[in-house]
Structure 1
Amino acid sequence: MDNNHSQNKPDSHQEALIKAINTTMPFGKYAGFRLLELPEPYLVWFHKQGFPKGTLGEQLALIYEIKLNGLEGMLKPLLR
């Protein structure tokens, strides 16, 4: 049984989550804000219009889901 592989997977998800919430919005009205700090209506607008392609779009979609499910407060201590 390869326990190493299954133990590494959650760590990589956790690292991706920490990176996403701490990524800085590179453009627009909220340029310079960390993604977790973006207002929910802005993320809802992106959800309706379509998230950008690539990593940023994936991160914005993740943050949208986090806020939609009320998990933002739980993640605020991970902001750097």
Structure 2
Amino acid sequence: MNTSQQELIKLAHTKMPFGKYEGRFLIDLPEHYLVWYKQKGFPKGKLGEQLQLIYELKLNGLEDLLRNIRKF
């Protein structure tokens, strides 16, 4: 398994660590919340990178990719 695959698996199982949506899988965050972050600026660090990737996945209709990974 390569690094990209490992990162996707990790992303599929990552939950929001704080705030209104604490404990929710990142891929299950509401779209309006991700759009708000896109406009405001994603947090610095790993979480910001993950949220930005989730935003891009949702924008391109690829949410099921992570949801299917989570089933295994």
> Where in structure 1 are there 5+ consecutive unaligned residues?
1-7
Structure 1 stretches of 4+ with a deviation exceeding 6 A read: none
> Where in structure 2 are there 5+ consecutive unaligned residues?
none
Calculate the TM-score normalised by the size of structure 1. 0.81
How many matched pairs? 71
Calculate the TM-score normalised by the size of structure 2. 0.89
Q: Please, what is the CA RMSD of the aligned residues? A: 1.3
Aligned to 2:57: 66
Structure with higher RCO (Cα < 8 A, 6+ apart) = 2
Q: How much identity, in percent, do the aligned residues show?
A: 58
| Matches for 1:1-80 after TM superposition, within 5 Å | 11-79=2-70
Q: Structure 1 or 2: larger helix share?
A: 1
Whole-angstrom CA distance in 2 between matches of 1:18 and 1:42: 22
